[in-house]
Amino acid sequence: MRVHLSNCGSISLMDAHNFRALDVLIEPQPEPQLAQALTRIGTRDGDSHVWLFPQVLRFLACQAADSEWDTGFAAMLAYAQQHGWVNDQGQVRAHITLAAEDQVVSVADFKAAMRALPAGISAVTTGQGKDVAGMIVSSLTSISAEPPMVGFFAHSASSMGDTLLQTGKFVANVLGEEHSQIIASFLSQPQGEARFKEGRWHSSEHQLPVLSDALASMECDIVCTHTLGTHKLVVGKIRKSSCNSANPVVNFNASTHKLVPLAA
């Protein structure tokens, strides 16, 4: 079996039924990111080995109810124990395999492709009083209806990141044609109260900034965050929502566009 540490921040287990080999495949990534990933699966042993937690392997394999797999895994650990590949903490030793290259598109090609993807525009807001914060996103997406959840991506270095996580809540305000000044203000003004001088904002029951005439406003509790590459996925469970009749806009080719219905 092989533990795969991707440079996207994900950890997975490949060949879960191969009990004759165990290694950790690492894609090229910054050392701080790699060090953090390794602490999630075990303890580094120099440049070529890692001591892995067996319970992590069990979790990644998703085979907890498979007695045949459990028997094979136990035999693998017993074999490793006989050869001195299990330490006093019960961790099993695995080789590190470095991926030679990461075949992906360039940043320029990635951005060109994403500019071709029309997407709705929303103002995600959080905090209260002088600590109010907000950002414009085109990544808001529906995740689940039962329970009701939405999510968006924010750069790990976002100026509203700390406030967002400390508050533990956010409002996703879907914007329309009449909100061009709000978009301009959020993109040009420093983080904080200055961004909220344009638009009809009011405080929710939980003192969060809600845009009164947004196409839709969804007040959410953060239930999950996960770092993927340069961004953090933030998922919220919707506690309250409201909708208004308005004309939507989309982000396309790095600019804002109105929607025009196709002729019948």
| Chain segment 125-173, per-residue pLDDT in tens | 999 989 999 999 999 999 999 999 999 999 999 999 999 999 999 999 9
Q: Amino acid identity, residue 104?
A: V
Element (H, E) at 96: strand 92-98
Phi-psi region of 124 (alpha: psi -120 to 50; beta: other; left: phi over 0): beta
Q: Confidence class of residue 264 from pLDDT cuts 50, 70 and 90?
A: low
- Kindly report, residue by residue over 40-60, the tens digit of the pLDDT: 999 999 999 999 999 999 999
Q: Compute CA 109 distance to the chain's CA centroid, rounded to the nearest angstrom.
A: 22
Token output for 174: 């879907």
Q: Is 80 exceeded by the pLDDT of residue 64?
A: no
Task: Calculate mean pLDDT across residues 86-102.
Answer: 92
- Residues 161, 231: contact at Cβ < 8 Å? no
Token output for 51: 């001591």
Q: Looking at residue 112, what is its pLDDT?
A: 92
Q: Confidence class of residue 261 from pLDDT cuts 50, 70 and 90?
A: confident
Task: Calculate mean pLDDT across residues 231-254.
Answer: 93
Task: Give the predicted TM-score (pTM) of the model.
Answer: 0.76
Q: Looking at residue 40, what is its pLDDT?
A: 93
Q: Is 90 exceeded by the pLDDT of residue 246?
A: no
Q: Is 90 exceeded by the pLDDT of residue 83?
A: yes
Task: Calculate mean pLDDT across residues 11-22.
Answer: 95
Token output for 158: 């976002």
Q: Confidence class of residue 186 from pLDDT cuts 50, 70 and 90?
A: very high
- Kindly report, residue by residue over 105-115, the tens digit of the pLDDT: 888 999 999 99
Distance separating alpha carbons of residues 22 and 20, to the nearest angstrom: 7
Task: Calculate mean pLDDT across residues 210-219.
Answer: 97
Q: Amino acid identity, residue 189?
A: Q
Distance separating alpha carbons of residues 61 and 11, to the nearest angstrom: 11
- Residues 131, 163: contact at Cβ < 8 Å? yes
Delimit the domains of the chain by residue range: 2-98, 110-254
Q: Which residues pair with 109 in a beta bridge?
A: none
The structural architecture, per CATH, of the domain 110-254 is Roll (2.30)
